[in-house]
Amino acid sequence: MLSDQEITAILLSLKVALFSVVSSLVPAIFFAYILARFKFKGKSILDSIIHLPLVLPPVVTGYFLMLSIGKHTLIGGFFESIGIKFAFNWKGAVAASMVMGFPLLVRPIRLSLESIDRGLEDAARMLGAGNFRILMTVTLPLAVHGIISGSMLAFARSLGEFGATITFVSNIQGETQTLPLALYSYTQTPGGEAMAARLCLISVFIALAALIISNILASYARKRIER
């Protein structure tokens, strides 16, 4: 049987991963579209900034989050004034997961957008469709494989996020202790090897389930497009 602490960590990890992906999806599509469809000065700089969390140590990313949206910062103070607290709170874990998973969400969407036959969009435009309607009815449905793949990658990255989370919001049981943090705590606790092994197996199971669901959704989307 799983302990209350283990169940809480698992549910919190799923909650943080889900919120991070949902919150990142629209900005990711926006930036992927800009990078895929437009040429402008500073494009390579924007692309580098988006992918920076992939090459930075996660602890550095967590420290930057602490400096930018921490409790005693201007932005963090503003959010706290409207009831959104990041420091030592699960919302801070969401913010850390969003930053770490964002490049993995943007990249597949961008590649899908770049592979779309622009002639299909031109045909829709000739039939009188506006840009927004073309985006919603032609472009995004054709890029759905990238959206699904990116979402699953970001979700999995959020489930495994450790360094930025523990640096920014610490390891507070029941509040910020996600699955990787709980596993780490058990490995540092005498006699916690069995619980660490259980959480490790659960992590593998969740990751496999996410991949299977991703393949099912991608297959369904492919069949819908081919009809």
Which pLDDT tens digit goes with each residue over 62-119? 999 999 988 888 888 888 888 888 888 899 999 999 999 999 999 999 999 998 888 8
Compute the average pLDDT of residues 119-128: 87
Tell me what pLDDT residue 214 has: 80
Structural domain total, the chain: 1
Amino acid 36: pLDDT: 93
Domain housing 54:
4-226
Q: Which of 44, 24, 26 is nearest to 35 (CA)?
A: 44
Whether the per-residue pLDDT at 226 is higher than 70: the answer is no
| Average confidence (pLDDT) over 197-201 | 88
CA nearest 218: which of 153, 139, 145? 145
- What is the tens place of the pLDDT at every residue in 26-70? 999 999 999 999 988 989 999 999 999 999 999 999 999 999 988
* Res 23: pLDDT: 95
Question: Which pLDDT tens digit goes with each residue over 5-19?
Answer: 888 889 999 999 999
For residues 199 and 182, the answer to whether their CB atoms sit within 8 Å is: yes
Closest CA to 209 of 47, 73, 13, 62: 13
Instruction: State the chain's mean pLDDT as an integer.
Output: 88
Q: What pLDDT is attached to residue 70?
A: 83
pLDDT in the model for residue 107: 93
For position 97, what pLDDT does the model report? Answer: 94
> How many C-beta neighbours within 10 Å does residue 223 have?
9
For 137-191, write each residue's pLDDT tens digit: 889 888 988 999 899 889 989 988 999 999 999 888 888 899 999 888 888 888 8
DSSP codes of every residue in 97-162: HHHHHHHHHHHHHHHHHHHS-HHHHHHHHHTT--HHHHIIIIIHHHTHHHHHHHHHHHHHHHHT--
- Arithmetic mean of pLDDT, 209-220: 81
CATH of the domain at 213: 1.10.3720.10
